[in-house]
Amino acid sequence: MSETTTDLDATGLLCPLPVLKARKRLQALASGDTLTMQADDPAAIVDVPHFCAEAGHDLLSADTDGPVQVYVIRKA
């Protein structure tokens, strides 16, 4: 079983769009695949971890690169 990583650039999008885009992108992935998402919406700091917890996905990391947050999510 090979796991793939997909990138999503959600910079410039405001709540709730980063989470909605992540949800849509994750639906197309297989269980165990990862999504790396960049976002600059201040609300994403709260929204992304909450979304992962509610949907059962694993938030592998949440880092900041200047004004951009980088999230790595493993699909449940």
What is the identity of the amino acid at 4? T
The set of catalytic residues is 15
Instruction: Give SS3 for 40.
Output: coil
How many other β-carbons are positioned within 10 Å of the β-carbon of residue 39? Answer: 27
Task: Report the 10 Å Cβ neighbour count for 37.
Answer: 24
